[in-house]
Amino acid sequence: MDFAAELNDAQLKAATHPDGPLLIVAGAGTGKTRTLVYRVAHLIERGIRPERILLLTFTRRAAQEMLARAERLVGSESRAVHGGTFHGTAHRLLRRFGPEAGLPGDFTILDQGDSEDLMQLSRAACGLADKTKRFPKKETLHHVYSRHVNTEIPVGAILREEYPRFIEFEDDFARVFADFTARKQARDLVDYDDLLLYWAMLLEAEPARAIGDRIGALYDHILVDEFQDTNVLQARILKGMCRVHRNITVVGDDAQSIYAFRGATIRNILDFPRDYPGAAVVTLEQNYRSTQPILDASNLLISRAEERYSKELYTKRTGGEKPWLVTAQDEHQQTRFVVDRILELHEAGTPLREMAVLFRAGYMSADLEIELTARNIPFEKWGGLKFLEAAHVKDVLAFLRVLENPRDEVSWYRLLLLMPGIGDTTARNAIQSMIDAAWSHESFGRFNAPPRAKAAHGALVQLLAALRSQSAGDDHSVAHEIARVRGLYDDILRERYDRVEPRLADLEQLQGIAGGYPDRASFLAALALDPPSATSDLGFGGENEDDTLVLSTAHSAKGKEWDAVFVIWAVDGWFPMSRALGDDDQIEEERRLMYVALTRARHHLAVTYPMNVYDTRRGADYSFDQLSRFLDRGVRNAFQRVVLQVSEGLPAPETPAAAPVVDLKGMLRSRFGGGS
């Protein structure tokens, strides 16, 4: 393999760097990810055993793609490389090493919604539920908790900075957090933050030093992509993993840091040379992705950032037209422009899969999704998916989770409240009786249910017993378990929710996904750790199509590239999002996010904004929308302006020929945030 033919000098130097710490800091599209792939290939060629290489990426999908590319370079050996996210890796290591440190191997992972629900229980247990509504909500409590864990900023400082009105409750926060922590531990529940925290602690704790050293000794080389989006805890983990050796390669771009809202800090990049003395630093400036006019616009946009360290990007490629800045009269005209232009480019030979439409938040593509469906253009959607957050999906998962972990209080509470005749008091009493009996399997059966709850209690006891019984010949697949649960649950669903059909269809999907997992534990862990991030992961919208358009949030588009990119809703209050408008740091993060969006394009880039929004989406005082503040006059000069004319001359909106067979709008509403 001739590396020199595939990489430029700086990339080659990085890919073939000998042992020792290495930082690659470079702008968008300069080949950071490509260099990392070649470095993995190079290490394997050099004789490093692939299973002793750890590749950490932002999504599991990204790791898979990189390893597939490495496979093309060095063959199937690369399949043994351990690739995945920090959380996924933490999970794997904790299952293996946790039991030696007092964490049982069968812990249950709580996703964010579960953690918030548990926080609510802690809030109530601390007697703060009935206090005046001035005491923060579970979401706020959880946000502060998570921020504290991920940034190591003291709770008091977070309150002063973000929630000064809650300062007087600082002691109460501490009480709730203490209960929350104890509650999780007593029930073997582990949330996302705990995964990282336990990993870091295993590596660092003195009495367990032996474990830390053994974990560190599992790998000879660690490589991290998108390092700008890691947090303090992840930096600590990397330190711990590198105690035995110092073979760490990190790549990142401070101008693309977009997860500060979740505690990420570019200090990790800036301080790397200090944290790893003697680290080699490679910078890359030649962009291989985009045309110069697209880079000019992107460079200008990011040049307005308050703080920045990366250099101007350039390409050796010549030609390319200026990106378009498109003014539409309203949302629907914006939609029709995007769809028409996509079809035009498609006619001219660009496959749909080489085009993407990006937006700030998942709900902003609703009109576009309807239009694409009406015009029969296949698409898949990345990010912003609410499938697993849908109440009915969580309901079914609650059954599986109490089977998996009988101490899973959140799931017990959820499923008890589902049952007809069981209310809050009965649910709490039932849970207390199980706590008193140390969560033994039989304790729920012995619970003395009040008369009106007797039938439901009996039905639930029977179902759980049937699912627990392990007679030979029984089908114990997760899909089958879901089918059994639905025997009881589907009627409850029909009673409790509207729009029954799409919800039942979701449960079919869930059953289908479950079919791909060997057992319940791995199914539940995968859903919590790696929730489906694209509609195609769920098996609809493009399963049989290899040519589908991508709709994506800007966050989920990180690291990707397409021939043609449309950034829609470039409207102040939408991008940047309105909740960022009052906070300078958040505005800067939104600007970097816009930069990420623009730099995804290879040849065509169009940024669009509707001038007015005449439905009531934003309330009456905002009838006229303003172009995003990031596209100031100077930046606009890097674009060519396209102003779409008032509707005359444009085709009237098409009306579907026949009544729709499926209630598509209903499905969208229930799936993308409308459902409860």
CB of 312 within 8 A of CB of 57? Answer: no
The one of Mg ion, ligand ATP, none whose footprint includes residue 289, by CB under 5 to 8 A per kind, is ligand ATP
The one of ligand ATP, Mg ion, none whose footprint includes residue 28, by CB under 5 to 8 A per kind, is ligand ATP
Beta-bridge partners for 203? none
Looking at residue 282, its amino acid is V
Closest CA to 129 of 416, 406, 424: 424
Q: In angstroms, what is the minimal distance from the CB of 28 to ligand ATP?
A: 4
CA 500 to chain centre: 28
Q: In angstroms, what is the minimal distance from the CB of 284 to Mg ion?
A: 11
Q: In angstroms, what is the minimal distance from the CB of 558 to ligand ATP?
A: 7
Give the list of residues 6+ apart from residue 392 with CB closer than 8 angstroms, or none. 493, 497, 503, 506, 507
Q: In angstroms, what is the minimal distance from the CB of 13 to ligand ATP?
A: 12
Beta-bridge partners for 22? 249, 280
Closer by beta carbon to ligand ATP, 29 or else 542: 29
CB of 165 within 8 A of CB of 247? Answer: no
The one of Mg ion, ligand ATP, none whose footprint includes residue 635, by CB under 5 to 8 A per kind, is none
Closer by beta carbon to ligand ATP, 293 or else 559: 559
Cis before 576? omega within 30:
yes
Neighbours of 220 (CB within 10 A): 16
- Coil/strand/helix, residue 663: coil
Q: In angstroms, what is the minimal distance from the CB of 27 to ligand ATP?
A: 7
The one of Mg ion, ligand ATP, none whose footprint includes residue 241, by CB under 5 to 8 A per kind, is none
CB of 198 within 8 A of CB of 191? Answer: no
Looking at residue 397, its amino acid is L
Which whole-number Å values give the CA distances from 550 to 33, 127, 497, 561, 606, in the listed order?
Answer: 21, 48, 31, 11, 15
Cα(264)–Cα(65) distance, integer angstroms: 24
Q: In angstroms, what is the minimal distance from the CB of 222 to Mg ion?
A: 17
Q: In angstroms, what is the minimal distance from the CB of 36 to Mg ion?
A: 8
The one of Mg ion, ligand ATP, none whose footprint includes residue 8, by CB under 5 to 8 A per kind, is ligand ATP
- Coil/strand/helix, residue 393: helix
Closer by beta carbon to ligand ATP, 146 or else 256: 256
CB-neighbour burial class of residue 83 (10 A; exposed 0-12, middle 13-18, buried 19+):
buried
The residue at minimum Cβ distance from ligand ATP is 31
The one of ligand ATP, Mg ion, none whose footprint includes residue 7, by CB under 5 to 8 A per kind, is ligand ATP
Binding site for ligand ATP (CB under 6 A): 7-8, 11, 26, 28-34, 253, 256, 288-289, 559, 561
Closer by beta carbon to Mg ion, 86 or else 439: 86
Closer by beta carbon to ligand ATP, 34 or else 520: 34
The one of ligand ATP, Mg ion, none whose footprint includes residue 613, by CB under 5 to 8 A per kind, is none
Which whole-number Å values give the CA distances from 395 to 279, 489, 507, 537, 670, in the listed order?
Answer: 50, 8, 10, 21, 15
Closer by beta carbon to ligand ATP, 29 or else 383: 29
Binding site for Mg ion (CB under 5 A): 32-33, 559
Instruction: Tell me how many helices (H) and strands (E) the chain has.
Output: 28, 15
Q: In angstroms, what is the minimal distance from the CB of 376 to ligand ATP?
A: 30
Q: In angstroms, what is the minimal distance from the CB of 29 to ligand ATP?
A: 4
Closer by beta carbon to ligand ATP, 38 or else 107: 38
Neighbours of 137 (CB within 10 A): 13
The one of Mg ion, ligand ATP, none whose footprint includes residue 288, by CB under 5 to 8 A per kind, is ligand ATP
The residue at minimum Cβ distance from Mg ion is 33
Closer by beta carbon to ligand ATP, 89 or else 256: 256
The one of ligand ATP, Mg ion, none whose footprint includes residue 30, by CB under 5 to 8 A per kind, is ligand ATP
Closest CA to 524 of 409, 394, 419, 643: 394
Closer by beta carbon to ligand ATP, 541 or else 559: 559
